[in-house]
């Protein structure tokens, strides 16, 4: 009886010792979404922030890169769209204005389960409209969102700016967004010197009704996140909520 009790106590001790390990592994996983929401207007002509937020909650997203976001514009009827999405999804909003628009602002944003420790808003080239990179710092990583210019020359001109920002980061740097370039174009070829792209480049994201091209990306900076690996990647089959489809990547190794 004493021997059985000793064995049982040993098993309990081993299990107790493993609990922190399992907990630590769980903390090192992250679900990332990137989504160009077209200011909330779907392909059905309806503006529905709740259905967009449901995508993030259903995916149990930890952090989201959001592009084409209105902030208190006439088009959004004075709504702070990122704030609306954050409240519906139970996340923290961080907005970056790219341009003044319709009585308010238009730009990009980050939604996150954790409140950012710091935020940078960095201007980028864009001859058709000004562009911006937003970077939020969290406990274990940096997360960047950008919506790049339609012009290939401006996309390439953005790369030194992004590289300079990344050079100061001492934690893994994840970069996501609508980069307005297909995988074979110069910007995507060039940025892959610095970034490991995590999503499946064979899955098109635009237009949402009949996707033909991949222009939405999630990647990790090679020098700061060499051990980060994608464990799951998907382009969600939502053809209505926006003219883009959402990209989801689950990673481990943070």
Six-digit token string for 18: 């493993």
Q: What is the pLDDT of residues 79-125, one digit of tens each?
A: 999 999 999 999 999 999 999 999 999 999 999 999 999 999 999 99
Handedness of CA 197, 35, 186, 143 (dihedral sign): negative
Q: How far apart are CA 218 and CA 227, in angstroms?
A: 16
- Strand-pairing partners, residue 247, are 34, 235
Average pLDDT of the residues of the chain: 92
Q: What's the domain range around 138?
A: 29-252
Asked if residue 54 is part of any domain, the answer here is yes
Asked if residue 5 is part of any domain, the answer here is no
Asked if residue 242 is part of any domain, the answer here is yes
Instruction: Give the DSSP H or E segment for 249.
Output: strand 247-252
Q: How many domains does the chain have?
A: 1
Asked if residue 17 is part of any domain, the answer here is no
Q: How far apart are CA 102 and CA 167, in angstroms?
A: 36
Asked if residue 21 is part of any domain, the answer here is no
* Position 69 pLDDT exceeds 90: yes
Alpha-carbon 3 to chain mean position: 54
Q: What is the pLDDT of residues 240-249, one digit of tens each?
A: 999 999 999 9
Give, as one character, the DSSP assignment of residue 181.
-
Percent of the chain with pLDDT over 70: 89
pTM value is 0.89
Asked if residue 222 is part of any domain, the answer here is yes
Asked if residue 18 is part of any domain, the answer here is no
Q: What is the pLDDT of residues 200-235, one digit of tens each?
A: 999 999 999 999 999 999 999 999 999 999 999 999
* CATH number, position 66: 3.60.10.10
Q: How far apart are CA 142 and CA 119, in angstroms?
A: 9
Q: What's the confidence (pLDDT) of residue 91?
A: 98
Q: Among all chains, which residue has been given the structure tokens 């592009």? A: 67
Asked if residue 35 is part of any domain, the answer here is yes
């Amino acid at each position: 009886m004493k021997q059985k009790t000793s064995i049982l106590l040993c098993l309990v001790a081993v299990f107790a010792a493993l609990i922190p390990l399992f907990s630590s592994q769980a903390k090192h996983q992250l679900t990332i979404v990137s989504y160009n929401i077209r200011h909330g207007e779907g392909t059905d002509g309806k503006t529905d922030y709740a259905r967009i937020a449901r995508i993030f909650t259903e995916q149990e997203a930890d952090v989201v890169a959001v592009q084409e976001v209105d902030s208190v514009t006439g088009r959004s009827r004075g709504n702070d769209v990122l704030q609306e999405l954050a409240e519906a999804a139970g996340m923290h909003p961080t907005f970056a204005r790219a341009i003044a628009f319709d009585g308010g602002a238009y730009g990009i944003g980050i939604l996150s389960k954790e409140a950012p420790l710091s935020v940078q808003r960095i201007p980028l080239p864009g001859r058709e409209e000004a562009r911006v990179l937003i970077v939020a710092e969290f406990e274990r990583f940096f997360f960047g969102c950008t919506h790049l210019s339609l012009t290939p020359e401006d996309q390439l001109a953005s790369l030194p700016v992004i590289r300079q920002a990344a050079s100061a980061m001492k934690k893994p740097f994840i970069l996501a967004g609508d980069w307005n370039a297909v995988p074979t174009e110069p910007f995507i070829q060039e940025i892959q010197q610095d970034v490991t792209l995590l999503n499946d480049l064979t899955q098109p994201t635009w237009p949402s009704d009949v996707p033909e091209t991949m222009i939405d990306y999630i990647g990790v900076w090679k020098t700061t996140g060499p051990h980060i690996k994608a464990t799951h990647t998907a382009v969600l089959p939502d053809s209505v909520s926006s003219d883009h489809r959402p990209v989801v990547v689950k990673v481990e190794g943070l």
